[in-house]
Amino acid sequence: MEFKLPPGLFGLIKNWLEKLIFLRAYIISHNDYVSRTSKLHFKELVDEIDYDVKLASRYISNNEVPMPKLYVKTGKNNVYNRFSGYVKAFSGNVCYQNPIDLELASDDQVVITHLPSIPLKDITIDDDGIYTTYSEVTLSGVFYGEGGVTKEISDTFGFPTYTEFLNSTWSRKWDHVWNLDFLEFEFGEMRHALIYTLAGPFAFMAHSNTYVGFWGKVKKLWDKLVLNVLANKKALKVYWWVTMPLRVRRWQTHNKQFKSDS
């Protein structure tokens, strides 16, 4: 009698194995990315008031509704109780405007507001060049204090980068988007350490002066063996994932719980 798996069973087993082997490593890698990119870097607007803007990116967020945010931090000696103005994003002759009206505290506090009128960052590449959603973000408006005290401000937040689209590795699995930069870096470090140990620092230099005479030819052949066989990326990745549970234990300083991208 021919043995056949029930329809869909192979897929279920495959998904279960992938989740068993990959999930914890994916969580660690993504948490590393979130920890690096979610830190606030406040910029002073006026005395005792700083701000930061966190822009959101299309396709690579796990938030149900990804959206840019404005963070305003007040100090204990803040004299203003209200701010009214705009966050603006510019793309050529197009200006996206998001009105804001914030109530401010006279002590240490961080006020957070969403910016639904500011588009998600995106990038398009074609034969004519690279196009981004916008190239500049500004904050402008007026601070109001008691007794009619006002302070008008206009500040350029900065020029958005789009490195998350160009220089990062992403994977969509289990209804989440994962950043794999940490895993890519660790794999590269392991591979280079192996090559350095087996072949030395000149293994990548095809025309190195170390390849002289008979023993130089032997060394060159050995280096090629190391690079193309022993440290072959495809073969090494099998070893990498088989030994992943050991690596995960070593990475326990990373929070294993899935973090929001907010």
Return the SS3 of 100: strand
Q: What are 172's strand-pairing partners? A: 177
pLDDT-derived band at 201 (thresholds 50, 70, 90) equals confident
Of 50-54, 114-118, 141-145, 247-251, the poorest mean pLDDT is in 247-251
| Predicted local distance difference test score (pLDDT) of residue 1 | 35
Extract the tokens encoding 258. Answer: 């899935």
Extract the tokens encoding 162. Answer: 């789009």
Of 12-16, 23-27, 59-63, the poorest mean pLDDT is in 12-16
- Does the pLDDT of residue 4 top 60, yes or no? no
Contact call for residues 56 and 66 (beta carbons, < 8 A): yes
Distance (Å, whole) CA 89 – CA 70:
13
Looking at the chain, the whole-number percentage of residues with pLDDT higher than 90 is 45
Q: Where in the chain is the domain with CATH 2.60.40?
A: 43-166
Looking at the chain, the whole-number percentage of residues with pLDDT higher than 70 is 87
At 162-195, the pLDDT tens digits run: 888 888 999 998 889 999 999 999 999 999 898 8
- Does the pLDDT of residue 5 top 50, yes or no? no
CA distance to 112, 186, 200, per residue, from 137 (Å): 17, 34, 48
| Predicted local distance difference test score (pLDDT) of residue 63 | 82
| Predicted local distance difference test score (pLDDT) of residue 127 | 81
- Does the pLDDT of residue 3 top 50, yes or no? no
Kindly indicate whether the domain formed by 43-166 is annotated with CATH number 2.60.40. yes
Instruction: Tell me the residue ranges of DSSP E strands in the chain.
Output: 43-46, 49-54, 69-74, 80-91, 94-103, 109-114, 123-126, 129-132, 136-145, 150-158, 170-173, 176-179
**Range from 78-87, 186-195, 200-209 that averages highest in pLDDT:** 78-87
pTM: 0.78
Closest by CA position to 47, among listed 79, 83, 70? 79
**How many CB atoms within 10 Å of residue 130?**
11
Return the SS3 of 118: coil
Distance (Å, whole) CA 143 – CA 162:
32
Amino acid identity of 102? L
